[in-house]
Structure 1
Amino acid sequence: MGDPKDVELGRLQLLNHGHHAVLKLDNSDSLNLYIGESFTQHAQNVTVDENAIVASFDDAKTKLVISLRKDDNFEFYNFAWFTPLEAHYLKDTVYLGEGEAHWFGGPQLLQQAWPILNTREEKKGYDFCPYVIEDPYMKPSSGFERYWLGSQKVALIVPSGVPLWTQLSPNGYLALQAQYADSPYALFPQRHSDEPYLSYTLAVPVNFKSTSLPDFHVGISKIYFDHPHAVFDEKLIEKPIWTTWARYGKAVTQADVTKYADEIVSRGFPVSQIELDDKWTTEYGDFEIDTNKFPDFPALIAHLKSKDLRLTTWVHPFVNVESESAKNPKLQDFFVKGSHGKPETVHWWNGDGYAIDFTNPKAYNWYKSKLEAFQKVGIFTYKFDAGEVYYLPEGFKLASGKHPNDYSRDYARLAAEFGTAVENRVGNGTQAAPILIRTLDRASQWTDTGLQTLIPSVLQFSLLGYYWNLPDIIGGNGFNISQVGDRSIRTDSELFIRWVQVNAFLLVLQFSFCPWDYQESDKVVEITKSVLKQRDAFVPYIKSQCHAAVANGVPVIRPLWWALSSKEALTVDDQFLVGDRLLVAPIAHENTYHRRVLLPEGSWKDDLGNVHIGPITIETDVPLERIPHYWRQDRKRSWIGSIWNMIRSLFVKPNSRKGSEVSTI
């Protein structure tokens, strides 16, 4: 046993009687942790050797073990708190706001920012809540994966077994709290007395100088989570999905779907599949086609097939109380149970009903059989909606599973059984599945869950291993429709055009409102077709990058800092890379027709035919019909390019022409 003095373990110092830890990073950078915040007692004894620090807080009957493990590339500092089983909670706080540090990852947020504190909204961070999969419209955050990445080449990982709550303050303090009580974790298997209550790992590179931030992230991510093992249906890359939701809502009929498909095809727009959204069945939970709205479903299928179109349909995990399924006593055991062990109803956006328990193999197979029966009618596959823990009874119990997120995981696993053209919106440890995960329903507006959150959300999901993410409907889903027109004539033409452009070089496009639904429809149609034509030229490249992502475990859609190591690149949230050769710099702000573009090293040819030698910052005009994009012509910067960059800087004045260079980085 030793005195409770300040001690060191590798790069880590434990200070202040065991309540403050400092992890030394590169140069003079460091990461500060304020630990053991759930009690005030100091450590009575501290011991240290080359592999671990053990701090004993005898008065609190608590022990902290910090262990160090190294391999050829990384150092791992694992923090593990051991407390009596009756302990209510344990809390540590990691300060993310140190110096010029920026952080990425963590939970999904309604106002997603990149990096996570880079939001333009008034409120930064998020309020205290359990780290489970929630509906971001209803809760402060939604916890898919427990991974945070710091720009100073440090990663934070929390094991799935920790009953984790988090909070991110506006000034960058990330609270990590273990707590079973008053949470979705309460009725799940709890730890044994010899297991830690709160634990997490900080990882850093062995050699900071020779390790880039992208290489560090890829190396760590391959240890802690998966990536896709196969490419999703490539027809979805080639042609957009068209969904009925925003254009028709729940009033959609067979005549509407027929007319919709005919309109799209007759106007010369490409289609991979028509998605029939809510509401095409009788009651929610009864697997019967509503023949009042769809009197001849086989005829609808035949009509679409005659145009070489597939039909997918919207499904959900609920059985509403008015349905025949809910009244069937034989099905009661298939529903998620409440704290008293009996099925309990939940409220969702289409009423009150039971949630099907997909952790119950019998319920899983029953639901699966119902969807397979629809496929015999001609439905190709499905859009799986909901699936969040939020839509389960308070104090819920699952038939099996160790953690609340097992519900969402099994729902996603079921979705993956229906092919590679599936759309889903939840996941936890399901990155390997070759299906699309939809990032969020977005409002038809620029800010406040609108267009400006799209690129940050795509980057967020890609970082967490969900490379095949779908950024929802172009132009927004229309639930704020009264603010921007009606379903017959849309008044937000500029928003729609910029949305098409932002989405143009992402993996999949999904339309609902049609370009001809807008004011100045001829112009909107013309620009949209032009964007799709520009995309077509890159479809083979996008496909190749998807296959490379499967082979190499590197995301297709990447942040600018993946190719440009600069302070400014870390906070760029309106540019992205597709692989390592295509850089896209669209407009995501209203009434904006000029922008700065940061180009990494290399020779970049833009969509206007101009060549730029990077690294460089340029200013360029972006009229409504343009989406700036840049193709890297070389893999490495040549010495000729360097000389040309120097000569050019002597003669080219800022803003002297479109796409003019203003400075080197």
Structure 2
Amino acid sequence: MQITINRLAFPLILAGLFLISCGQKQDQQNVELKMLQDEKWWGGAVLDGRNSPYGEGNFFYDQLGDCKGNQAQPLFLSNRGRFIWSEKPMEISIKDEIISVRSHGAEIITGTSGETLKDAFLYCSKTFFPPSGTTPDPLMFTNPQYNTWIELQYDQNEMDVIRYAEDIIKNGFPTGVLMIDDNWQDRYGTWEFDCEKFSDPASMMEKLHGLGFRVMLWVCPFISSDSPVYRDLQDKKLMVFRDKEKKTPAIVDWWNGASAIIDLSNPDGVAWFREQLDNLVVKYGVDGFKLDAGDPEFYTGTYSFGDFGPNEHCESFAKIGLEYRFNEYRACWKMAGQPLAQRLRDKSHTWSDLQVLIPDMIGLGIIGHQFGCPDLIGGGEWTSFQDSSILDEELIVRSSQIHALMPMMQFSVAPWRVLGKDNLKICREMAILHQSMGNEIYELAKECAVTGEPMVRNLEYEYPGKGYENIKDQFLLGRNIMVAPVAAKGQRSREVVFPEGRWKGDDGTTVTGPVKIVIEVPLERLPWYRKVY
């Protein structure tokens, strides 16, 4: 395999004596690449998985302070084996077959490794974000996850959390991971159970464990400014600042108010935050954490102990999760190849949002995050569930089918509350399918933790040069399982593209590819095929 590397470091300007005396320096590098014939590109932000591949139209993305509400990585890959990488955020545009890249503080590395998307990915994974060899906890893969957010929203409380867990079992769903979402705590930054909502959290945890669940708690880096914790951290200078002199804590607006932020560029800030989480583990038996927020835009215009940029703050928040095998992130900068569970950002309860789950999960893998969850079944945007009259049972069923053979699947809205008997049965069967395949899914996770490869792949990754680069409604789980769900209302048939080989289907049929076939997909069916060579 031929590998060609171009390291484009920041040049020193020859008129340096004058510029240095004025305190100036060049801190960006401009690079231009011409698109090759039939070349397509992927990468950058997970949210652009739906817009991938790039190359046929114009594209622009400035990564500085912007992960697009999800995961992002300074990496772009092409189906011709080319790659673009930097250790810092990049600004990239594609227009008139010219790729223009500008860096924000680090060298840009471009090159070619082999001739395919897979060749480029494997080289970059090994070189720039080598896999850790470890995974999140096996239960994250082998069993469904359940999140209390949609059912309880900001009224998380002991009685309803236990009822939710009991209803899971009562309705025949497998136990697994239970996440207690925002507002279980006293205040942001005061990571103790609210005693008015949770009268005996230790007993609650013991009961949930006894029912067969492992329990995660929602946390974030925000600090409520009207709390003793804020005053203590202010005295210790452990929050990010609004001024260059680093005297006054910054107060930032976010989706649930205005708060200060713990400074994780400061080792003492890291130690403080980990101490809060470890206390929950030791005191109550908490198994892990859903680490929310941390988006780089919250840090834009702030100052910190370590003089971090916005993206570095996001990365430092992600590093907290490495201490806990039960973890989940919705926003993350870099950290590919690490044992972190990455969830797609909240989706609305709409068919259009359902249709981006597969391409965005493919995009997640392409930037190096193997261990992903496609948001919450039926959607995670809580405002979508305020009006029960617009709930679409068919959408929830099809969503559960898309999740069933993903690396992870996560419920939140209770299927037994919103679905009729027949549709509830289908959702339950999807949860049981995931559990029945759980050991195989986890074996794949362990393999990908060593190789660095995505668990969810597009057909172009495994079958290059066959014209599959624009297929976004089916996916591969590893090399040998192909899944072709339905994501359109009322649709009861679909075309499936079968690559070369023999594929045995969920319906017992065997198809020899390459071929395209229209199949029947009644509401109760999730079409999937195993390659039998």
The answer to whether TM tops 0.5 is yes
- Secondary structure of 2:237's counterpart equals helix
Equivalence for 2:366: 463
Contact 2:39 2:80 in 1 (8 A): yes
Select 1:132's aligned residue among 48, 64, 70.
64
Equivalence for 1:477: 380
Contact 1:490 1:518 in 2 (8 A): no
CA–CA separation in structure 1 for the residues paired with 2:294 and 2:258: 15
Alignment of 1:43-192 (within 5 A): 73-80=2-9, 82=11, 84=13, 85-86=24-25, 91-94=30-33, 96=35, 99-109=37-47, 112-116=50-54, 125-126=59-60, 129=62, 131-132=63-64, 134=66, 136=68, 144-160=72-88, 164-168=90-94, 174-178=99-103
Contact 1:280 1:293 in 2 (8 A): yes
Equivalence for 2:260: 354
Equivalence for 2:20: none
Q: What amino acid is aligned across from residue 494 of structure 2 in structure 1?
A: R
CA–CA separation in structure 2 for the residues paired with 1:575 and 1:509: 17
Distance 1:436 1:406, change over 3 A: same
Identity of aligned residues (%): 25
Distance 1:77 1:149, change over 3 A: same
For these two proteins, the number of residue pairs brought into alignment is: 520
Query: Which blocks of at least 5 consecutive residues in structure 2 are unaligned?
Result: 14-23
Equivalence for 1:383: 290
Alignment of 1:29-48 (within 5 A): none
CA–CA separation in structure 1 for the residues paired with 2:32 and 2:250: 36
Contact 2:29 2:108 in 1 (8 A): no
- Secondary structure of 2:326's counterpart equals coil
Contact 1:283 1:322 in 2 (8 A): no
Could you give the per-residue CA deviations for residues 192-221 of structure 1, whole angstroms, max 9, x where no partner exists? xxxxxx74233224xx6xx54423421233
Contact 1:439 1:458 in 2 (8 A): yes
Q: What amino acid is aligned across from residue 462 of structure 2 in structure 1?
A: A
Equivalence for 2:302: 396
Select 2:125's aligned residue among 197, 209, 221.
221
Does residue 619 (structure 1) correspond to residue 522 (structure 2)? The answer is no
Equivalence for 1:253: 157
CA–CA separation in structure 1 for the residues paired with 2:71 and 2:214: 33
Equivalence for 1:201: 109
User: Please, what TM-score do these two structures have when normalized by structure 2?
Assistant: 0.90
Select 2:406's aligned residue among 465, 487, 506.
506
Distance 1:616 1:515, change over 3 A: same
Could you give the per-residue CA deviations for residues 603-641 of structure 1, whole angstroms, max 9, x where no partner exists? 11111111111111111111111111011112xxxxxxx
Contact 1:235 1:272 in 2 (8 A): yes
- Secondary structure of 2:342's counterpart equals strand
CA–CA separation in structure 2 for the residues paired with 1:505 and 1:576: 10
Between structures 1 and 2, the one with greater helix share: 2
Select 1:430's aligned residue among 311, 325, 335.
335
Distance 1:149 1:315, change over 3 A: same
Equivalence for 1:13: none
Could you give the per-residue CA deviations for residues 379-423 of structure 1, whole angstroms, max 9, x where no partner exists? 22111001122112x4322222665432222211112112x1111
Contact 2:46 2:361 in 1 (8 A): no
CA–CA separation in structure 1 for the residues paired with 2:85 and 2:436: 40
- Secondary structure of 2:182's counterpart equals coil
Distance 1:471 1:330, change over 3 A: same
Does residue 363 (structure 1) correspond to residue 295 (structure 2)? The answer is no
Does residue 297 (structure 1) correspond to residue 201 (structure 2)? The answer is yes
Could you give the per-residue CA deviations for residues 446-494 of structure 1, whole angstroms, max 9, x where no partner exists? 21xx1122112211121122101222211111433267x33xx772111
Q: What amino acid is aligned across from residue 374 of structure 1 in structure 2?
A: L
CA–CA separation in structure 2 for the residues paired with 1:143 and 1:248: 26
CA–CA separation in structure 2 for the residues paired with 1:267 and 1:214: 42
Alignment of 1:505-654 (within 5 A): 505-519=405-419, 521-634=420-533
CA–CA separation in structure 1 for the residues paired with 2:519 and 2:459: 18
Does residue 271 (structure 1) correspond to residue 179 (structure 2)? The answer is no
Contact 2:42 2:49 in 1 (8 A): no
Query: Which blocks of at least 5 consecutive residues in structure 1 are unaligned?
Result: 1-71, 180-189, 191-197, 635-665
CA RMSD across the alignment: 2.6
CA–CA separation in structure 2 for the residues paired with 1:124 and 1:212: 22
CA–CA separation in structure 2 for the residues paired with 1:402 and 1:325: 23
Distance 1:307 1:576, change over 3 A: same
Once the two structures are TM-superposed, the CA of residue 278 in structure 1 deviates from its matched residue by 0.9
Contact 2:131 2:451 in 1 (8 A): no
